[in-house]
Structures are given as structure tokens and as C-alpha cells.
Amino acid sequence: MRTVLITGAGIGIGRATAKAFAQAGDRVIVTDVLDAEGKAVAAEIEAEGGTAEFHALDVTSTDNAAAVVAAVEAAHGAIDILVLNAGIAHKVPLAELTDAKWDHTFEVDLKGMLRLVRPAVPAMVENGGGAVVCLSSIMGVAYGWDEHVAYSAAKSGVVGFVRGLAVELARKGVRVNGIAPGYIRTAQALSEQHSLGPEGLEKAADFIPMGRVGEPEDIADVITFLASPSARYLTGQVLTVDGGLLVGRY
């Protein structure tokens, strides 16, 4: 049984990914800053016959991240798969983009990934290898997003993080890949304050070649593929999963 740790697993893509790995027979370590939501996902997996546990995790805390990794390793041995999904996207016009707001986005969306990888990789390598999957965005690989400059920059940083880490860890048996989701029906996208809102999200379907907005499960299934033996010769890549959006805009 593989041990899979997922950040931001209480809602959206993280939740769908936790359920997908559980259905595949893996032990899922559900982590989130959202206590109630994270506990509910773990309980749901257990009720469906899967194996899961919840650990409270704020990815902006180096100590918290190290402690969670240590606790999981003490109980189950090396983590086999890391899914680094925790992220925020706050709408902030340039005039209001203070150093603190910029830094907070990077602390969650980019440095939060380092805080999990750094303590988890040594045991992963000693155990024979593993897989890391990082969540970027179409806003990090192709699009710019006005009033979300910090988010676009952080998600672009994820691409460089994936590439550099993949090369560094390749001979140690650890594969590192990423996913750049398009418009997905998540709490983030449905937020009228920070994103498209329900009406805007439905309108997006008009210019997506596949004719629909993505569901969290559409991303979760690609994540499970990237972490599987089927992707054994794939590393350092960020796959765009967007229903044809980027190639279809002309």
C-alpha cells in the first residue's frame, strides 16, 4: 500500500485527488488548514472502505510541515507520493499589492511546496524512490491574469520548481511533474470576490473547445496517472489539462 500525502485536500481538486488515490487502494494522508473539511474527507474515505487520516497543516509553517512529515513517516514509513496542491488566488490590484500580500501568495503557492518536499525526499529516496506532483495553472504556463499578478508569478515559479527538482532528483528515483489546470469547477473559481464566479465560470464553457468547464475529478485522474508506474519515464513536465483552451484560442 502506497502512502500518499496531499496538501489542500479538504476541498476541490485536493479532495477529488484524495478520493481517487483511496479508490486505487492507497493510504491517503489528507492535509489542510481547513480542519472540518479535511476531517470530513478522511472520514468519507474510511466510510467507503478506504484508508485515510487527517493532519492539520498550514503550508506556510516550516515547523508544521516538518512535524507532519515526521509523524507520517514514524507511523507508516516513507511517503511514496506527494501531491502539492494547496494554493490561494486573491484578487489584488497593483496599487494594493503590498509586500505582505505578495509574500503571502508565494508562501502558500510556491514555498509551501518546498516545505513538504525538503523533509519528505530523504526517506523517499532511501525507500527506493517516489513521485511528486505540483499544481501550477494555465495562469502560470501561458496566460496572464490581471489583478492576480502574485498568483500568476507564483504559479510560473512552480514550473521552474518542477523542472529544477526533477533534474536534481532523477537519478535518485524520484520523479517530479506538474499539472496546469484550466477552468475547473472549484471554490476558488466560483468565488465572485477573487475569480470568475458561477456565472463567469459557465460563460467560460463557450470558449473551451470541449464545451465544458473541468471538474476536480478531471484533474485528479491525471494526478494519479503522473504518480503511477505508467508515467515511469516522465519527469520534469507540466501537463496542461484545460479541455483544449490554450490550443483553441485563435
Query: Which residues lie below 8 Å from residue 172, measured CB to CB, with a gap of 6+?
Result: 121, 125, 129
Residues of the chain with pLDDT under 70: 186-201, 250
Res 203: pLDDT: 74
DSSP per-residue codes, 50-113: -EEEEEE--TT-HHHHHHHHHHHHHHHSS--EEEE---------GGG--HHHHHHHHHHHTHHH
User: How much helix, strand and coil, in percent to the nearest 5, is found in the chain?
Assistant: 50, 15, 30
Res 137: pLDDT: 96
pTM for the complete prediction? 0.94
On whether the CB atoms of residues 91 and 194 are closer than 8 A, the answer is yes
Tell me which long-range contacts 51-58 makes (C-beta under 8 A, separation of at least 24): 51/1, 51/22, 51/26, 51/27, 52/18, 52/22, 52/27, 52/28, 53/27, 53/28, 53/29, 54/30, 55/29, 55/30, 55/31, 56/31, 56/32, 57/7, 57/31, 57/32, 57/33, 57/86, 58/33
Res 230: pLDDT: 98
- In the residue annotation, 151 being an active-site residue is answered as yes
Res 191: pLDDT: 47
On whether the CB atoms of residues 176 and 235 are closer than 8 A, the answer is yes
DSSP code, position 131? E
Retrieve residue 92's grid coordinates.
489584488
On whether the CB atoms of residues 208 and 197 are closer than 8 A, the answer is no
The order of strands in the sheet holding 3-6 is 51-56, 27-32, 3-6, 81-84, 130-135, 174-181, 238-241
Res 205: pLDDT: 81
**Catalytic pick among 143, 151, 183, 250:** 151
- Phi/psi for 111 (5° steps) reads -65, -25
Q: How buried is residue 96: exposed, middle or buried, by Cβ count under 10 Å (0-12/13-18/19+)? A: exposed
Domain map of the chain by residue range?
3-248
Res 185: pLDDT: 81
On whether the CB atoms of residues 61 and 114 are closer than 8 A, the answer is no
Q: Which class would CATH give 3-248?
A: alpha beta
